Amino acid sequence: MVKKAVLVSSILIIFGVSILVSVPIIILSTGFSPYINVEGIPEPFEYVASNTAGIHKLELNVDVGNIEIQYTTTRVDFLAKIELNIEMVGQNLVGESFDNYFIIEWDDSNTMPTFTMELEKDTDWFNTSKWITQNVGIIVTLNANILFDIDITINNIGNVEIFVPGGVNINNVDVNLERGNMFFDFTYCIIEGNISGNVNNGNGDIDFKVNNVEYTRNSVWNLTNDIGVILFDIIQYEGMGANITGMGETNTGIIEVVYKDFTSNVGAVFTFYRTVTQDGIWEGFEREIDTDETQWWQSRFIYYSDDFPVINNYNISLYKTWDGEYSFNLLNT
């Protein structure tokens, strides 16, 4: 009798589990199309030019998407290549074409190739009740032997990642997002221009990593956001070759600074504006305080490295509007 009761209980449990599993599947299968790549995704776009000298400016202007910039040192025929990886899961996608959602323009007629990808006006891309997955990947591969300006705009939402490896030269970089995150990784490369990143209105983090970069001329950094984290992550073991003037500004976000230099040829000064408190540690730096608690918005904390000024220097100014926060870890040896 006990065995029979156990058997009946087991059957009921299996039946219940099967119902729990099958109901979502039935709902999904009737309300949503299978996991698919939409039809009609264009083949890669390539920028090929007979004149490879000088500076080539690459512009990308898209409404949505995640853009990844990478370099290749392999021998290739192109100067730049753009590949699309679109994956969409949602209602009524069976038989849908890429052209139902996006308008693409590609102009590679001169030294300023331009890639534009706009949403169709009638698309319901931002109707969250329709979609399970919307992955728009834009992978940009640049010839490491070509000097590029990079100009990126994402008009609605998306992320940008830029990886510049050792030995590669890059000129100006300008990234503007309405909402989304950006990640810069400059490691043992050569920067010949200025770097800027701006998240206009929505929440967006900016992760700015600079590791033993060389500069051919003085460079300006400009990083701003409304909400989110701005991280300056700077490591310098070797001489830079030029001076850096940088600025980070947030409205209600957080600014973090991690700085380490291990050479007597590099100095640094960091100025934190609009603060009467400091939350951080420093070694090899001297602190100067200019604080008026009755007018805190005019207050500032200044940290000079013990060897400042020397041959080449970082001069970084940080601003918060009202509720922004600071944190930092500074090391100079």
Question: What is the spatial distance between Cα 112 and Cα 208, in angstroms, rounded to a whole number?
Answer: 26
Work out whether strand 55-72 and strand 147-164 pair parallel, antiparallel, or are unpaired. Answer: parallel
Please list the pLDDT of the chain residue by residue as tens digits (333 residues): 444 444 445 544 444 545 444 445 444 444 444 545 567 889 999 999 988 999 999 999 999 999 999 999 999 999 999 999 988 877 767 677 888 899 999 999 878 899 999 999 888 888 888 788 889 999 999 999 999 999 999 999 999 999 999 999 999 999 999 999 999 999 999 999 999 999 998 789 999 999 999 999 999 999 999 999 999 999 999 999 999 999 999 999 999 999 999 999 999 999 999 887 667 999 999 999 987 766 766 789 999 999 999 999 999 999 998 778 999 999 999
Residue 315 in 3-state DSSP? strand
Q: Identify how many contiguous H helices and E strands the chain contains and give both numbers.
A: 1, 24
Whole-model pTM? 0.87
* Residue 95 tokens, joined: 């038989």
User: Are the beta carbons of 213 and 293 closer than 8 angstroms?
Assistant: no
